Amino acid sequence: MLKNTPWLVLTALILAWLGFSQPTQASTNHFSVQTELPSNQVNKKVSYFDLKVSPKQNQTIYIKIKNHDKIAHTYTVATNLATTNDNGVIIYNDLRSKPDSSLTFNIADAVAGKQTVQVAAKSTKRIGIKLELPVTPFKGVALGGINIYQQSTNQDDQPKSGLSLQNKFGYVIGLQLREQTKVTVKPDLKLLTVGPRQVNHRNYVNAKLQNPHANLLHGLKVTSYVTKVGSTKQLLKTTKSQLEMAPNSHFNFALGDGTTELTAGNYQLHLKSSAENGAYQWRFTKKFTVTAAKAKQLKQTTLPDTMPPTNWRLIAFLVSIIVLLLALVIWLLIRHRRQST
């Protein structure tokens, strides 16, 4: 047994180092949702909630969850305020960010809290969601989303080896409230701040854009570049289209690909934007400064693009020693066997 021990240990170590592929979670979804549109639905050609409401109004709206699976499942139903993320996408599950400073009515405050519901196998359950409108009227539209997610089962949560990706499924149903059938608030866009920003150890110039009004911005296109003050040379430029913004929200528009080093100096942002297929247009220029201290800090915390050189001398040295020791072990084993016989 002693003779085989080094080889068994060596084999085990090699296998542990290489790792194995492991099976992941099933990729099939087993539930669906549906709305019951009430009589105060404004736009009857959509199937999300678009309701005309009045101050102090109380109402219960209904959705249905259908469980297509052979086993019962538990679902979470939660309504959140619509916000805009840094990809310029309207999201309905942001519970960390503070609402935009321009928001006067947070729809999440008017909707009952999170519910947990169980739906039996191969069946449908009707879920009521209570709305309670504030006394103070609001202009434009208030937008939120009803999020429905299936809770994980113990089987789903089994730990896997290596690096794995688990698929989860969910639904969002829009909940749009308005007190006037026709929304008269005109779209607007503001540039709040501009400056350097590091995300995941990559450096960008960040333009914080705000939709200060209670309506959605559709089909937003942003074309932007950065120059040194007094120069026309474009140091960074980024164009994105098909962006969207929730009512009374903001997001960070990132310029560059994260690889350009920002040296200390005075810069100027040039940004133009349009929405609704060019029906609304805005143009901004804003100066900003990167201080020497900030430039140093950004440089020190940037992820290196290139790997440090491999120490081949050390590797060769270690390999030589391993080979020598293995040869010694083999020689000793052979000599031990000869002496025994």
Partner 1 sequence: MKKQLSLTTLSALTLLMIPVATHAATFDGNQDVNSSTATVSITEDTKSLPRIMAAPDISFGSFSNSQAINSTAEKITDNLKVVNADPNYNWTVKLDVSSFVNNENSDNSLADVSLKAAAGTVTFENTNGKKTPVSSALTNSDATTTILRSTQGATGTATHNLAAEDVTLSIPQWSPAGNYTAQLTWTLANAPYSSSDDRKAQ
Restricting to residues 34-53, name those near partner 1 by CB under 8 A: 34-35, 42-43, 45-48, 50
* Residue number, 1 or 293, with CB nearest to partner 1: 1
Q: Which residue has the tokens 């305020």?
A: 81
- The residue whose two tokens read 């959605």 is 216
Q: Tell the smallest beta-carbon distance from residue 139 to partner 1 (Å).
A: 17
Cβ neighbours of 189 (radius 10 Å)? 21
Applying CB under 8 A, among 52, 125, 190, 218 the residue interacting with partner 1 is 218
Q: What part of residues 297-326 is at the interface with partner 1 (CB under 8 A)?
A: 303, 307, 318, 321-322, 325-326
Could you say which of 56, 201, 237, 296 contacts partner 1 (CB under 8 A)? 201
Of residues 224-263, which lie at the interface with partner 1 (CB under 8 A)?
242, 244
Task: Provide the minimum distance between the beta carbon of 173 and partner 1 in the complex, in angstroms, as a whole number.
Answer: 6
**∠ CA(172), CA(173), CA(178), 5° rounding?**
135
Q: Is 18 in the site for partner 1 (CB under 8 A)?
A: yes
Backbone angles phi, psi at 33, to 5 degrees: -135, 160
Distances (CA, A) of 296 to 122, 134, 236, 301: 60, 50, 19, 9
User: Would you call 110 exposed, middle or buried from its count of C-beta atoms within 10 A (0-12, 13-18, 19+)?
Assistant: buried
Binding segment (CB under 8 A) for partner 1, from list 10-18, 51-59, 110-118, 131-139: 10-18
The full 3-state SS of 61-98, as one line of letters, equals EEEEEEECCCCCEEEEEEEEECEECCCCCEECCCCCCC
Cβ closer to partner 1: 135 or 307? 307
Tell me if 82 sits within 8 A of 91, measured CB to CB.
yes
Contact set for partner 1, span 111-150 (CB under 8 A) = 122, 124, 143, 145, 147, 149
Residue 157 structure tokens? 């949560």
Task: Write down the least CB distance from residue 333 to partner 1, Å.
Answer: 8
Give 177's Cβ-side CA count (13 Å radius): 27
Measured CA to CA, the distance from residue 40 to residue 51 in angstroms comes to 6
Q: Tell whether residue 93 is a contact of partner 1 (CB under 8 A).
A: yes
CB of residue 71 to partner 1, shortest distance in Å: 14
Name residues whose C-beta falls within 8 Å of residue 1's C-beta, 6 or more positions apart in sequence. Answer: none
3-class DSSP state for residue 322? helix
User: Which 153-182 positions form the footprint of partner 1 (CB under 8 A)?
Assistant: 159-174, 176
Stretch that binds partner 1, among 25-33, 52-60, 71-79, 278-286 (CB under 8 A): 25-33
Q: How far is the CB of 135 from partner 1 (least distance, A)?
A: 26
Cα distances from 197 to residues 189, 215, 254, in angstroms, run: 21, 28, 8
- Per CB under 8 A, the list member of 51, 81, 91, 271 interacting with partner 1 is 91
DSSP state of 231: -
Binding residues for partner 1, rule CB under 8 A, total 88
Q: Which two tokens stand for residue 298?
A: 């950004």
Region of residue 256 (left: phi > 0; alpha: psi -120 to 50; beta: else): left
* Shorter beta-carbon distance to partner 1: residue 117 or 227: 117
Provide the minimum distance between the beta carbon of 193 and partner 1 in the complex, in angstroms, as a whole number.
Answer: 19
Closest distance of CB 232 from partner 1, Å: 28
Which residue in the set 51, 61, 77, 92 belongs to the binding site for partner 1 (CB under 8 A)?
Answer: 92
Shortest distance in whole angstroms from residue 220 CB to partner 1? 10
Report in angstroms how near the CB of residue 21 gets to partner 1 at its nearest.
5
